[in-house]
Amino acid sequence: MRATRLLRAGSRKRRCSTLSEQFTRRIDGLSAPAQQGLFGRIRRGIEKEGLRVDSRGHIVSTPHPHALGSKLTHPYITTDYSESLLEYITPVFSRPSDALAFLGDLHRYSYRYLGQELIWPSSMPAELDGNDSVPIADYGNSNVGTMKRVYRNGLDMRYGRIMQSIAGIHYNFSLPDELWTHLQDIDGQQAVSAQAFRSRGYFDLIRNFRRNSWVLMYLFGASPAVDRSFLEGRDAGLLPHGEQTELSDTASTLRMSDLGYQNKVQSQLRICFNSLENYIGTLRHAIVTPWPAYEREGVEVDGQWRQLNANMLQIENEYYSDIRPKRVARHDETPTQAMESRGVEYIEVRCLDLNPFTPLGIDEQQIHFIDTFLVWCLLSPSPWINDEECDRLDDNRAHVVRGGRDASLMLSFAHGDRPLHECLEEIFEAMAPIAELMDSADDSASHQKALAELRTLIHHPEKTPAGRMHQQMRESGSDFVTWSLERAREHAQWFAQTPMDQARDTLLDQLVETSHQQQRETEEGDDVDFSTFMRRYFEHARQLKVNNGAQ
């Protein structure tokens, strides 16, 4: 394979030759390991959210089914913000089909105990009845469970519950250790510790992802419409449709727009992704910096906890981003302490809408494309992002989420504005040798096929999930809730008609009782009151666990 075919005319010629040579050298250097199955050892896990709704398409207020286990301790079936917002978490798998099969069985198992309820297939929520119609999840009486509840109280106070009813896919991705070893040798970085090299590499990937995350939002965005109950009378700049819908003729993903996970306070954060040290430092600064409006609300008032603290962020997870570096934390660590101590372990992609055209919200083609895209982000040159570029990246994302299906859309770059479709063509061309590399030991050529099939969407935005959804609603005159409810019923029928793995069925049965027992033991094991627990938590969170190898 000739990696040099990656280098195109136009903007790529403007890059310095040393960076292009590094890119070519990496691809060529990974050719032999790829033929031995290196990329078949990529690991991924899927987290999928979905509202529980009734037969009319209204959010339900019923408790999380006891028969599904404890949402505090169950490893695979829990809730996100709301009691009504199911969250499924798969184990980590090397084969995409295995991750999807596990995710499917979590749905099948749940439907056994949902009665007449359905799992909402769209990212934007079902019909709501004001802020209080979104019940906050209850995790029991333990200090850990109470902390989860108070954190959600704080989210309600800061952002409102309605925003927290939005659902999506989080895609967890990690590269095999062997790949990092090969890259370190190719780059001649043997003097750097393996941990530091891996962390730097993941941040290289993250920066390029942030430059180009709009690609995923264009291709996989699936939220061009909202029910008016979500807007609560706000003018969202959308077009009225049907009896109860606001629809956009151009949006790819309203979930990722200013209607979704956006906040004026967080918009002032300057979380830096140029290095692990900068990321942790800027994130911790937000966690310890008071915010006047939150201070006025109070933290513990008349014995009731309103929020965990009055700072810009209560805890690290409150920061909304389209991608995060991650490391599995031990019981006595915060997420940043875990990364500071042992480096970045994997990344979490957070900008994916649920695809309402597939029962699982994601399919193998999408996974193969995302994997190719992430490897391209890793292997491509990734200079640090300055403030000026950061602003352009934010603008480009905003343009695509609201206007991605506008054929005349232009994106902004240092050398001037360029048409969206031209940028997409260039990126697909650049990704082609990556897909070929990843398919070296795969006779099915799954990555190349995904690239070829999705490339047809570049000049046909009406064929993207958002475009198909928009077209079907326009042609049928259906409201958003009606259209989504039809998909939910179709999906429920599909789950009912497809078999469940018997060993997984037995495992999930066992986890129900085990998780409830673990919650009881957690509650019985508390030896301090909640105020003391929180004081100790934040004291511990301020302790820095610097490991020089992670630098």
In this predicted structure, the answer to whether residue 63 has a pLDDT above a threshold of 50 is: yes
Q: What is the mean pLDDT of the chain?
A: 93
Q: Is 279 left (phi over 0), alpha (psi -120 to 50) or beta?
A: alpha
Hey, what are 131's tokens? 């802020």
Tell me the average pLDDT across 460-470: 98
Confidence of residue 401 (pLDDT cuts 50, 70, 90): very high
Beta carbons within 10 angstroms of residue 97's beta carbon: 10
Q: Is 133 left (phi over 0), alpha (psi -120 to 50) or beta?
A: alpha
* 326-365 pLDDT per residue, tens: 999 988 889 999 999 999 999 999 999 999 999 999 999 9
Q: Are 467 and 337 in contact (CB under 8 A)?
A: no
pLDDT of residue 540: 86
pLDDT of residue 42: 98
Helix axes 194-212, 387-403, angle to 10 degrees: 50
Start-to-end Cα distance in the chain: 35
Q: Does pTM surpass 0.75?
A: yes
Q: How far apart are CA 279 and CA 132, in angstroms?
A: 35
In this predicted structure, the answer to whether residue 475 has a pLDDT above a threshold of 70 is: yes
Radius of gyration of the CA atoms of the chain, in A: 23
Closest listed residue to residue 427, CA positions, set 354, 502, 375, 373: 373
Q: How far apart are CA 115 and CA 376, in angstroms?
A: 44
